[in-house]
Every structure is written in C-alpha cells, then in structure tokens.
Amino acid sequence: MFSKACKYAINSMVFLATLPEGQERAGLKEIAFAVNSPEAFTAKILQTLVKENLLLSIKGPNGGFEISEEGRKTPLYRIVQVIDGDSIFTGCALGLQECSEKHPCAVHHKFKAIRDHLTGMMMTTTLTDMAKGIMNGVSFLKT
C-alpha cells in the first residue's frame, strides 16, 4: 500500500518518538538499524523529512536527527503525503485518470469507503500514539 520509502519514513519517525526524554536524538546508523533500512536510502528519506520541517538535523559530534516541534504534532497522514503524495487518499483503486461519483470505476463505491476510513485513521493517528504501542511492547518496528 505504501512505498518502501514511506514505510521507512514512518518507522524512522516512530523510532525517534520512542527515544527517552533527554535522549531524543539519534544518528543515521542507529535509525537505519532500528528500522531495518539501508543507510543511504534512510539518509535521503530523513533529509526529505528535514526539508518538510518534520525532523531536525543537528550537525557535530552530538548531532543526529530528532523530531521537530511541528513533527510531534503531525498526524501520520502528513508523513505519507510528504513521501508518497496523496494519491492513496484520493486516487482510483484501478488507476483510472477520471474516477468519481459521476464517472466511477468498477470498485469505486467500495474502495471510496475504504479510502475514507484510511484517511480518517491517518488524520487521527499521531507518532505519540504509535510510539506508545512500541514502548508498551504491543507493536514492533521490525521482526
């Protein structure tokens, strides 16, 4: 459903959200290891999130990445939108250029309900929500 880049972006941000208070910053290697992602690919993804003000990049010996103030308040929807765009929330299940109530594809009405539910879930789910599951041991970032 989401691209690999999007999955890594979400997992990277959730990982950073699980770090203990006072230690909210992590380096590229640590993040890539935590989310089981190639370092070079992770670096590109993290830079995109920095460019969109969802993460901060701190240089120097104690540097690394941390969630920005804006990033902490951002719903999961925004991370997906930054990395994959919003076609998953607006596009046609069968890939038609024009798919609407007036010109529906064969699964439009069923898919629209699923897409609307997904959008609602993504708009109301925060990094904090996801991090709580990780910290409580009921969810995981990797196998």
> Which among 115, 49, 47 has a CA at the least distance from the CA of 87?
115
Percent of the chain with pLDDT over 70: 100
pLDDT band, very low/low/confident/very high, at 1 (cuts 50, 70, 90): confident
Range picked from 51-55, 85-89, 127-131 for highest mean pLDDT = 51-55
| Tokens at 45, concatenated | 């993804």
Task: Compute the distance between CA of residue 67 and CA of residue 16 in angstroms, rounded to an integer.
Answer: 7
- Domain 4-135 bears CATH identifier 3.40.50.300: no
Residues near 98 by beta carbon (within 8 Å), at least 6 away in sequence? none
Percent of the chain with pLDDT over 90: 70
Give the residue extent of every domain in the chain.
4-135
* Positions of E strands within the chain: 55-58, 64-67
The tens digit of pLDDT for each residue in 101-133 reads: 999 999 999 999 999 999 999 999 998 889 888
Q: Is the pLDDT of residue 143 over 80?
A: no
For the chain, what's the residue count?
Answer: 143
Task: Compute the distance between CA of residue 80 and CA of residue 102 in angstroms, rounded to an integer.
Answer: 28
Residue 49's pLDDT is 98
Residue-averaged pLDDT of the chain: 93
Residue with tokens 């599951």: 133
The tens digit of pLDDT for each residue in 19-30 reads: 988 888 999 999
